[in-house]
Amino acid sequence: YLGSNGDANNVFNSGSLIMGMNSKSSDESDSYVYDPLDTKPGELEFNSSSPDYLLDQTSVLALNGDGLIYHSEPFEANVEISGYLQFIAWISMDVPDTDFIVQVYEILPNGKSIFLTDDLLRARYRSSLRSARLVDQNKILKYEFDGFMFFSRQIQKGSRLRLVFTSPNSINLQKNYNSGGVVAQESGVDAHTANITLYHSKKYPSYLELPIIR
Each residue's pLDDT tens digit, 91-112: 999 999 999 999 999 999 999 9
Q: Which structural domain, as residue segments, surrounds residue 38?
A: 2-213
Q: What is the CATH number of the domain that holds 168?
A: 2.60.120.260
Which pLDDT does position 172 carry in this prediction? 84
Whole-number Å distance between alpha carbons of 114 and 160: 11
The number of CA neighbours under 13 Å toward the Cβ of 160 is 20
Each residue's pLDDT tens digit, 170-203: 888 999 999 999 999 999 999 999 999 999 999 9
Q: 50 versus 96: which is more confidently predicted?
A: 96
Q: What percent of the chain has pLDDT over 70?
A: 91
Q: Which helix (H) or strand (E) holds 40?
A: helix 40-47
Whole-number Å distance between alpha carbons of 181 and 193: 14
Each residue's pLDDT tens digit, 130-158: 999 999 999 999 999 999 999 999 999 99
Whole-number Å distance between alpha carbons of 61 and 13: 11
Which pLDDT does position 12 carry in this prediction? 87
Which pLDDT does position 65 carry in this prediction? 80
Q: Please give the backbone phi and psi of residue 5, each rounded to the nearest 5 degrees, phi first.
A: -100, 15
Which pLDDT does position 23 carry in this prediction? 52
Each residue's pLDDT tens digit, 21-36: 655 556 799 999 999 9
Residue 47 has pLDDT above 70, yes or no: no
Which pLDDT does position 45 carry in this prediction? 67
Number of domains in the chain: 1
Please name which of 146, 64, 156 lies closest in space to residue 105, comparing C-alpha atoms: 156
Whole-number Å distance between alpha carbons of 49 and 32: 25
